[in-house]
Structure 1
Amino acid sequence: MNLQQLQYLKSIAETESFTLSAQLLSVTQPALSKSISKLEEELNVPLFEKNGRNIKLTSFGKIFLAHTNIALAEIEKGVRELQDITNPNTGTISISSTSTVSTFFMPFIISGFLNINPDAKFQFNHQCVRSILKDLKNGKIDLGFYDSIDSIEFNDEIESISIKKEEYVLIVPKNHSLSNKPEISLRDLKHESFVASCEVNKDKMISYSKSLGYIPKISIQPSDASMLEGLVAAGVGISIVPNTPLINTNIVSIIKIKENIKDRTIYMGWLKNSYMSPVAKAFKDYVISSIYK
C-alpha cells in the first residue's frame, strides 16, 4: 500500500468513474485499475462495485475511505507545516465561510490583508456552518467565518469570536414607490414581494416571518446570496439585507428600518490547541486587530 493508491481511491470515490479519474490524475485507465486491484488484493476486500454505467464504493470501501481521508489530510498538513517552517512569510491560508458572509464581508478582509501581505495565497470556499465546523475539526481549513453559532454549542473544540456587527436595511429597485423614503416600517410591507436568501444549510440572513410579524410573500429564494441584489434591481422583489459598502446604490435604494431588528453578527472560528501556519496566524491576528479599528 502506498500514498498514490490512497489518492487514487479518493479520486475514484469522488468521481465514481475510472475514466474520469484517470484523466484528472493524468494516468492511463489500465494503470489506475491495476493499482486499485492491487490495493483490493492487499486488503482482501472489494472496494468498488458497478452502479449502472458508473461505479460506487462497497461497504468495505466506505469504511476504508473514511480512514484514507484522515490519512491524506494529515500528510497534507505535515507538508504544509514543513513548507511554513522553510518560508514563514508565504503560504496558503485555507478558509471557508457561509454564502452570505462570503458575499458581503470576506472580499474586504481578504483584500486588506493582501495589501500588506502580497505573497500570501488563499484557498477559499463557502459552505454551511455544520460543514465549516467539520472541516475545522478535521484540519481541512485554518479558519471559518459564519453568521450563526447555533451549531457551536456542542463543539467545544472550536474557538469562536465575534468580529463584526452589521445592521439590517431594506433594499428596493430604483424605480420602486418606496425608493425615495429614508425610513420604512415593516408594517408597511405586507403587500410587497420579497427576495429572500435561502441557503441549503438553512443559515438564512434573517428570519422574515419573525422580524416582520407576519408571513410575507416570497417571490424567489436564490441559493446564492450574490444573486440577491441583482434580482431586487430587476424588480423581482424587495429584500432585507446587511448594510455593507458592497451594496450598489446605482441599481438599488437603501432604506433604514424603523423597527429594532437584531444586528447580524459575523464570527471567526478555529480549532483550539491546533497547529496554525505563520501566515494563517497572521491573517487571524489581522482580522482580530481590524475589529478595533
Structure 2
Amino acid sequence: MEWQQLEYFRVVAKTEHFTRAAEQLAISQPALSRSITHLEETLSVSLFDRVGRSVKLNAFGTLFLKRVEKALQEIQDGVNELQQLKDPYTGTVSLAFVMTFGLSFLPDFISEFNRLYPQVKLQLFQNTTAAIFRQLLDSEADLSIVGVIDHRNHLEWHKLLDEDLFVYVPANHRLADRESVRLEELARDPFISFKKGYGMRALTDQFCAQAGFVPQVVFEGEDVATVSVLVSSGIGVTLIPSFRGITPSKIKKLRVTEPICRREIGLAWLKGRALSPSADLFRGFIMSRFE
C-alpha cells in the first residue's frame, strides 16, 4: 500500500466520479482505476459501489476514509513541521474563534503577535462552538479560543480568563437609568440572542434558567454587531460580553447582580497532536499574556 494510492482513494471518495477525480489528479482514468483496484485487492474488500460512471463509498470505504484522512493529515503535518524547523518564525497558524471572544481581546493580541513575528501567517476562522470542535478534530484548526468544553477526552483546554457578561437594553427601556439589574427583572422582555450552537446562546439560556425563566427569544443572530443594532432599535434586550463602540444615546449597558453572569475563556487544541513550531509559538505567546 502506497501513500499515492491513499491520496487517489481520498479524491475518488470526495468526487464520487473516476473521470473528475482523474482530471483533478492529472492522471489517466485507466491508471486511476488500476490504482483503486490494486488498493481494494490489497485490503481484500471493495471500497466503492459502482453505479455507471459514478461510484459511492460503501460501509468499508466510509470507515477506511476516516482513517486515511487522519493518516494523510499526519503526513502533511510532518511535512509542515520539517519545513518550519528550518525557521521556527515562519509558517502558518490556524486559529478558530467565536466572534464574541474575538471582539473582547483577540484583535489586540493578533496585532502584537504580528508585530513581534511578522513572518508567521495567521489563518483565522470564525465559527460556532460546535463547528470549532469539529475543526479541531479534523485538524483544520491548530488552536481555538473557546469557552469551557465538554470534550476533555479529545481536547486540551487551558483557561485564560474570566469575562463578565452584561445586559444591554434600548436607551428608552424602563431600566435604562439603572446601573445594574437582577436578570429576573427581564423575564417578560423579548430577547435578542444567538442561534443555537453558539456558546453565548447556551449561556443565555443557562443564566435565565438560574433566574427562574425561559427567555422569549424573538431574534437569533450570529454576531454581536447585529444583536446590538437590534437592541438599540428597541426590538429587545440581550446578554453579551462588554464590547466597544456602543452609542449611549441608543443602547445602555447594565451590570447583572444576580445571578453572577460570567464565562470562562480558554485556549484549546487537539489532544495528542504535536503542534507545528509556529502554532506552539503562538500558543505560548497567548498563554504568557494571561499569566
Measured against the shorter chain, the TM-score band is 0.7 to 0.9
| Residue equivalent to 2:120 | 120
* C-alpha distance after superposition, 1:93-115 (max 9, x if no partner): 12223454345443333233212
User: Counterparts of 1:11-30 in structure 2 under 5 Å?
Assistant: 11-14=11-14, 16=16, 25=24, 27=26
SS for the counterpart of 2:289 is helix
1:236 maps to a residue whose letter is I
2:193 is aligned with 1:196: yes
Alpha-carbon contact 1:172-1:238 (below 8 Å) kept = yes
Q: CA deviation at 1:273?
A: 6.3
* C-alpha distance after superposition, 1:52-96 (max 9, x if no partner): 997542222212212210221111111111111112111111222
Q: Measure the CA separation in 1 of the matches of 2:141 and 2:274.
A: 11
User: Counterparts of 1:166-185 in structure 2 under 5 Å?
Assistant: 166-185=163-182
Alpha-carbon contact 1:5-1:35 (below 8 Å) kept = no
Alpha-carbon contact 2:98-2:146 (below 8 Å) kept = yes
User: Counterparts of 1:104-253 in structure 2 under 5 Å?
Assistant: 104-126=104-126, 132=132, 136=136, 140-152=140-152, 155=153, 158-200=155-197, 204-206=202-204, 207-223=206-222, 227-245=226-244, 248-249=246-247, 252-253=251-252
| Residue equivalent to 1:265 | 264
Q: CA deviation at 1:125?
A: 2.4
Q: Measure the CA separation in 1 of the matches of 2:281 and 2:53.
A: 48
User: Counterparts of 1:30-69 in structure 2 under 5 Å?
Assistant: 31=28, 33-34=29-30, 36-42=32-38, 43-44=40-41, 45-49=45-49, 56-69=56-69
Q: Which runs of 5+ in 2 are unaligned?
A: none
SS for the counterpart of 2:94 is strand
Q: Measure the CA separation in 1 of the matches of 2:252 and 2:75.
A: 50
Length-normalised TM-score, structure 1 = 0.78
* C-alpha distance after superposition, 1:179-200 (max 9, x if no partner): 4433233232122100122343
Q: Measure the CA separation in 1 of the matches of 2:50 and 2:170.
A: 52
Q: CA deviation at 1:241?
A: 0.6
* C-alpha distance after superposition, 1:119-151 (max 9, x if no partner): 111233245556655655665543232112333
Aligned identity (percent) is 30
Aligned length: 284
Length-normalised TM-score, structure 2 = 0.78
SS for the counterpart of 2:194 is coil
Alpha-carbon contact 2:91-2:121 (below 8 Å) kept = yes
SS for the counterpart of 1:258 is strand
Q: Measure the CA separation in 2 of the matches of 1:96 and 1:53.
A: 39
Q: Measure the CA separation in 2 of the matches of 1:163 and 1:101.
A: 12
Q: Measure the CA separation in 2 of the matches of 1:53 and 1:210.
A: 55
Distance 1:236 1:124, change over 3 A: same
Alpha-carbon contact 1:185-1:257 (below 8 Å) kept = yes
2:179 maps to a residue whose letter is P
SS for the counterpart of 2:208 is helix
Q: Which runs of 5+ in 1 are unaligned?
A: none
1:231 maps to a residue whose letter is L
Q: Measure the CA separation in 1 of the matches of 2:53 and 2:71.
A: 30
